[in-house]
Structure 1
Amino acid sequence: MSFEIFWYNTLVETPKDLLNKFLRSKNQTITYIDYDQKKDYTLTSQTLAKTIIHCANFLHKTLGLKKGDTVSYLFENCPEIIILNLACFFTGLRTCPLDSKRDTEDVATQKLKETKTKVLFFRKGGKIEELAKKTNQGLPNIKTFSIQNFEDFEIQIGKNENQEIINFFDPNSISLILYTSGTTGFPKGALLSFSSLYHGAKQVSHWFQITSDEKFYLVLPLHHINSTIFALSTLFSGGSLIIPSRYSKSRFFTDAAKYSTTASSIVSTINLDLLEEEENYNKVKDGLKFKRIQIGSAPVSPKHASEFVKKYGIRLIQGYGSTETSLRATGIPVDAPDKLYNYLLSKNSIGEELSQNKVFIVNQNNSVIKTANTEGEICIKGKNIMQGYLDRPDDSAKALKNGYFHSGDSGFFEEIDGKRFYFLKGRIKEIIIKGGINISPLFIEEKLRMHATWAKDVYVIGFPHYRFGEEIGAVFVPKDEKYNSDFTKTLQELKENKIPNLSPYETPKSAVIAFDGEIPKTSTGKIQRVNIKKDFEKKLLDSYRTIGQNQNYIFKIIWPDEQNLIEKSTQIHNSVFPKSLSVTPETLEHRATNGFVIGAFDKTNNLTGVLTGFFSSEQPLFEKNNWAEITGNGKFTTANSKGKIAILVSAASSNSQGKLENISMTSNKPQIDEKTIQEYINTQKDFIVKFHFAPKAGFKDGAKTTRIILNGNPQDLESLGTIIIFEYPLLTPSTNPTFTSNKIGIGLVEAAIKYAKDQKKEKVFALSRLGEAYKYIK
């Protein structure tokens, strides 16, 4: 396959050129998968071209918009976004996407004000419509259009086919205002011309080898630069798009196979998700057509990326860039030889500069560094760079100093086979990148200062998170020593996402106290934010993972990337359970990824006990009839984080009751029925039954038996293959689980109940067993 690189030294293609491409195409389509309506539909490129013209005429002729006016929209992923974008890009209008997940009312309102939005389109029904209406109340001059679906959109925009509308096109005028968080508080609107977007899209097409045969699977939000550019790259290359209304972990491989997708773009959190989707992958692997998947937009874990490539045989191609660079500035060569690809993957390279870019590493004096392996700031120059930030002349001048974009990221290059490959070292900027999303610490700080008036000040920083890369934490500086009750109240408000004008995604998930003298400052009194992060990120991480403590033990969440603790947890589990119920470190790692693993640490920080469980709905617990189906073969792949119940699966400690026997039962296995098992349970001779029946966590009552599954786990001979499901008392809004015992086993269950309550679950079940049934039932 060869690619002619002729376009990047030429003017951009005109709207007429692109629309004619769409009209002439024979196979180009956009397929939309509506998860809410449980249906899909497909638009041909001819319908796309005609609808773009209809929409452009509606905006200009019917609504009277003029060149330079702004159109905003608030949707989950849908074809309407692409049509609105191209109708505006082609006719001198600007678009401003609102974030349907993260934008609060005040953020959305501010964006509409700053961009002087004239028209707002939004999806009818649910939270999106509610946000749109609240936002519009303070801006009554904005015309709003509630869109039920694509058919409704077509009806509302009409069918004016006047081709002259595209004469308003100017490739260098602003086409897209895309807000990106920075360190100056409120998100900044990056100003991207059609020329910038076009060259950004075209160089991505060349780099990622997108052709007319492409079927690109667009799972990331279209209100971000990633999906915006990949959509344009694919369409301008004659390829087709498959657009689900939102990302779905469980449907990723299934839908990819169903629609024969050939490429996609993901972030690190999705990479981690998909490592747990091997079962779904195996069901459809023969139908998968993936050639490669792009990954970037947040720090990439080389470990997780390598695991993905090894497990699924699909190359992950890392790219680097930002909104300000129209997505990508560097990228790993798609067709790199295996030896080079594996090296770059293992070293976490962000690749070589793309065709529209010149990438520089500069020192603190803004001098270009010409020696390899020397760290400096990554700077980018090219036709894909933004024109600046909306109404932010100072920020614009700083970001575009000396004629190139200053990324704020630290990195270096390495010479390999005569080519420069770049590596990301860290961030000079103080933004927090959570799951590929830039979060402004100053914006969050301002909201917290307005709310937590008991604090003299507050500083927001990122702390490490195995899944998101970073999570958000807050360091509060109290005004005086009488802060305990106020801080406790604020902690509860953070847990419940009740800080005004902060979305749940932006709300800090951990908070600690620091006194004024503990905040690092320069000799002139300037706050040293980098040192705040250095001094407090470990405390925030520890606070985030700590569930609580009794007099003897502290109970913490164990993460899947903590290999030493995973291995120790495995040893503890296997020292207690019979060989037939043993686990491997890999299984425990899966449990920590999909569900939760709680560790009990003694006063010397030695791990002495472990409990595993996962969140789910009640349906599988009461409809599935064996342990493997309920637990996903012990890997918790059946977990549903949005479910309202917690299922506790195993608990063990280094001082548990002695290890059970490895017995053998063949012809002498007793014949049992549910009545026999229930009678045995009622005797309370079994130590596991007695353990669960005992009251815990401050409840008056202990657990009760809610289901018996005969032969639900045949390999568990001591339990005669029987599974017992215990249900603990209901977690109501007023429930306040406490630690009532200093024993490790009870403490682990009490920690799990408290964790379930903190995660807003309503019920706790134990998927348990009988410890000594074989001794009594003959």
Structure 2
Amino acid sequence: MLNLAAALQRNAVINPDKIAIVCGETQITYAQFNAIASQIANGLKARGIQPGDRVALSCPNLPFFPLVYYGIQKAGAVTVPLNVLLRAREIQYHLEDSQAKFYFCFEGVEGLPMAEAGIEAFQKTDACEQLVVMTADQTLSEYQGFETLTSLIHRQSAECDYAPRNADDTAVILYTSGTTGKPKGAELTQANQYLNAMAAQNLMQMAGRDVHLVTLPLFHTFGQTVNMNAPVSLGCTMVLVPRFDPTLVMGLIEKHGVTLFAGVPTMFIGMNLCQAESDCSSLRIGVSGGASLPLEVLKTFEEKFSVPILEGYGLSETSPIVCFNHLDKQRLPGSVGQPIQGVEVRVVDDKDQPVALGEPGEIVIRGHNVMKGYLNRPEENERALRHGWFHSGDVGRFDELGNLFIVDRVKDLIIRGGFNVYPREIEEVFMTHPAVAMVAVIGVPSSEYGEDIKACVVLKEGQFVSSQELRAWGKTQLAAYKYPRQVEIRDTLPMNATGKIMKKDLKAEITQSV
């Protein structure tokens, strides 16, 4: 028997007065956390939700998210977290594809009218039976004619034992970002989620006294495992940040004595560039994932904050952690470390045969972290899980000590005049230029070479360098077939809600403008 909510229920007994959730001026203890989650579970059961039913959730990093997430788990249902930036058409697709019976949607904030999109999607689908809106005004019993969370939990008991689930029962359905096609729902089991949370605890040497700064979106696998499931199981405090802002974040680190900060590369870049004078000495560890962290960014952060950054590697389909650097071992900058305990990783060629040591190939994975499969996608599962290994679509290489280095995405590979060019290598070089804050390298059509290389660059504030100068500089740093013939200076780069640069969107934007 296994249920993610068991840890919450346990901490409500042994750490009832410990602060579990902080958001702005709101503070919620573990006893209160468990009580509200129990009311939500009872409200769901009163409306017909059975163990195994799917319940969708759209919410930024606010207390509503963990409260509802664990309420769904207590009821034995399957949580389907949705990206908060989805539009109505996209929400409708996710509700229908997941066959969600119930949908919790936050009302939204200025510029992000989530409830409007959620209501429109709900009204256009027959798949979902009920919509509940979470509102900042917790006295409201309805919102535009729909029930609110206040109404759902009204008069519900604050006691509810978690529903017994099997280790291989689906706990969460996480949708891939759709960078290579239509989003697919990865079914992650109770064991997947539990064991990966335990792995995160061990790798980061977490303890109950740790205070987590939760800037990663909780609807995403990285934030969900490292910043929610792992700390909840230990009784840690989570400081929720709905929207990343480096000045705000540094102030919260000082105010709450934050010890663990997990982020994606663009967040570390923002912290490096921030001029705020906050005392961040409470930090003991930084964790980076979601995309490759440029070496220059890692070095700058560690020098500025005197905190080690541990880089890891994972995917939605692997719960997410696959490899990780270890605090008690020598870190090799640029490497994502070694496979976690119970997980095997190989690097193979296009015939699924292992490549020679040091050679690049596709990363394949097997172990307790690998999903059951994509929901209702038998053909995709046959391809992605062939021969008992999950095929990641990422290119990597191993060194003689078993450290994994991420080379790039298979889909991002640029073939220029017959030469394979990996964008990440070029991005690493451009990040060493003193004027460059961020860069994304993509392939663009070329009548002469098939594809050519283009670098899209965001400059640091107060810096100026022309695209011609950057192009000439790149030529001195890279082989003739690698340096970008095209360099574009931009104000911003397209990013998803996790702060990951969306090269697919960038490529489409540039292609349309040609």
Same fold, judged at TM 0.5 (above)? yes
Q: CA deviation at 1:217?
A: 0.6
CA distance in 1, matches of 2:413, 2:172: 22
Aligned to 1:312: 305
In the TM superposition, what are the counterparts of 1:664-683 in structure 2 within 5 Å? none
Which string of whole-angstrom CA distances, capped at 9 and with x for unpartnered residues, describes residues 618-652 of structure 1?
A: xxxxxxxxxxxxxxxxxxxxxx98xxxxxxxxxxx
Q: How does 1:448-459 map onto structure 2 within 5 Å? A: none
Partner of 2:75: 91
* Counterpart contact for 1:268–1:468, Cα < 8 Å: no
- The 1:12/1:205 distance shift into structure 2, 3 A limit, reads farther
The answer on whether the counterparts of 1:200 and 1:356 sit within 8 Å (CA) in structure 2 is no
Question: Does the Cα contact within 8 Å between 1:22 and 1:49 map onto a contact in 2?
Answer: yes
SS in 1 for 2:269: helix
Quote how far apart the aligned CAs of 1:294 are.
0.2
Q: 2:209 aligns with which of 213, 219, 241?
A: 213
1:377 is paired with a residue whose SS is: strand
SS state at 1:245 partner: coil
Correspondence 1:334 to 2:334: no
TM superposition shift of 1:155: 5.3
Secondary structure (helix, strand or coil) at the match of 2:257 reads coil
Distance in 2 (CA, whole Å) between partners of 1:319 and 1:595 is: 33
CA distance in 2, matches of 1:360, 1:317: 21
Q: Are the structure 2 counterparts of residues 536 and 167 from structure 1 closer, same or farther at C-alpha, using a change threshold of 3 Å?
A: same
Q: Does the 8 Å contact 2:38/2:160 carry over to 1?
A: no
| 2: CA distance, partners of 1:357 / 1:266 | 23
Corresponding residue number in structure 1 for 2:403: 421
CA distance, structure 1, for counterparts of residue 289 and residue 212 of structure 2: 16
Structure 2: distance between partners of 1:362 and 1:378: 7
Look up the match of 2:94: 111
Any conservation in 2 of the 1:175–1:192 contact (CA below 8 Å)?
Answer: yes
CA drift of 1:142 comes to 3.6
Aligned to 1:554: none
Deviations 1:447-497 (A, max 9, x none): xxxxxxxxxxxxxx999696565377876xxxxxxxxxxxxxxxxxxxxxx
Instruction: Name the structure 2 match of 1:139.
Output: 125
Confirm or deny: 8 A CA contact 2:184 2:375 kept in the other structure: yes
Q: Match for 1:156 among 152, 155, 174?
A: 152
* 1:431–1:87 CA distance, 2 compared to 1 (3 A): farther
1:57-96 equivalences in 2 (<5 Å) = 57-61=42-46, 63-96=47-80
Q: Is residue 229–residue 327 contact of structure 1 (8 Å, CA) maintained in 2?
A: yes
Matched with 1:536 is 452
Question: 1:254·1:284 contact (CA, 8 Å) conserved in 2?
Answer: yes
Structure 1, unaligned runs of 5 or more: 1-10, 34-38, 433-460, 476-513, 520-530, 545-558, 561-591, 607-639, 642-778
Matches of 1:50 and 1:150, distance apart in 2: 20
Structure 2 CA distance, aligned partners of 1:472 and 1:71? 38
Q: Provide the C-alpha distance between the structure 2 equivalents of 1:354 and 1:179, rounded to a whole number of angstroms.
A: 23
The residue type equivalent to 1:599 in the other structure is S
How far 1:366 moved relative to its partner? 2.0
Deviates more, 1:197-206 or 1:115-124: 115-124
Q: CA separation in 1, counterparts of 2:105 and 2:83?
A: 11
Which residue type is aligned with residue 242 of structure 1? V
The letter of the residue matching 1:356 is: G
What are the superposed Cα offsets for residues 561-581 of structure 1, whole Å, 9 maximum, x if unpaired? xxxxxxxxxxxxxxxxxxxxx
Question: Is residue 452 of structure 2 the alignment partner of residue 470 of structure 1?
Answer: no
Who is 2:114 aligned against? 128
| Counterpart-to-counterpart distance in 2, 1:306 and 1:14 | 37
- 1:597 equivalent among 464, 473, 477: 464
| Equivalent residue number for residue 261 of structure 2 | 264
| RMSD over equivalenced CA pairs, Å | 3.2
Question: Which blocks of at least 5 consecutive residues in structure 2 are unaligned?
Answer: 140-148, 415-422, 432-436, 474-490, 493-514
Alpha-carbon offset, residue 262 of structure 1: 0.4
1:233 to 230, 235, 257: 230
Match of 1:323 in 2: 316
1:245 — aligned with what? Answer: 242
CA deviation after TM superposition for structure 1 residue 412, in Å: 1.8
Matching residue of 1:21: 11
Specify which structure has the bigger relative contact order, considering alpha-carbon pairs within 8 angstroms and separated by 6 or more residues. 2
Equivalent residue runs for 1:509-548 within 5 Å: 518=447, 535-538=451-454, 541=455
Provide, for residues 346-368 of structure 1, a one-character-per-residue CA deviation record: whole Å limited to 9, x for no partner: xx001011123122222333234
Encode CA deviations 1:186-229: one digit per residue, 9 max, x unaligned. 11111111111111111111111111111111101111111100
State the partner residue of 1:54: 39
Counterpart residue identity of residue 95, structure 1? T
Query: Quick check: which has more Rg, 1 or 2?
Result: 1
1:302 aligns with 2:295: yes
SS in 2 for 1:284: coil
* SS of corresponding position for 1:234: helix
Mapped to 2, the partners of 1:23 and 1:333 lie a distance apart of: 32
Normalised by the length of structure 1, the TM-score is: 0.53
Matched letter for residue 536 of structure 1: D
* TM-score, length basis structure 2: 0.79
Of 365, 382, 395, which residue of structure 1 is paired with 2:351? Answer: 365
Instruction: Answer yes or no: is the 8 Å Cα contact 2:56–2:80 preserved in 1.
Output: yes
Whether the 8 Å contact between 2:36 and 2:158 is mirrored in structure 1 is no
Residues 75 and 100, structure 1, Cα contact 8 Å, conserved in 2: yes
Q: Is the 8 A contact 2:17 2:31 kept in 1?
A: no
Partners of 2:466 and 2:408 lie apart in 1 by: 31
What letter matches 1:55 in structure 2?
A: I
Distance 2:83 2:443 in 1: 22
Q: 1: distance between equivalents of 2:156 and 2:312? A: 41
Name the CA distance, whole Å, in 2 between partners of 1:258 and 1:171.
39
Change (3 A) 1:424 1:474: closer
Alignment of 1:732-771 (within 5 A): none
Map of 1:556 onto structure 2: none
| SS across alignment from 1:111 | helix
Q: Offset of 1:601 from its aligned partner? A: 5.4
Distance in 1 between residues matched to 2:7 and 2:360, nearest whole Å: 44
* C-alpha separation in 1, matches of 2:120 and 2:319: 31
- The match for 1:289 is 282
Secondary structure of the structure 2 residue equivalent to 1:594: coil
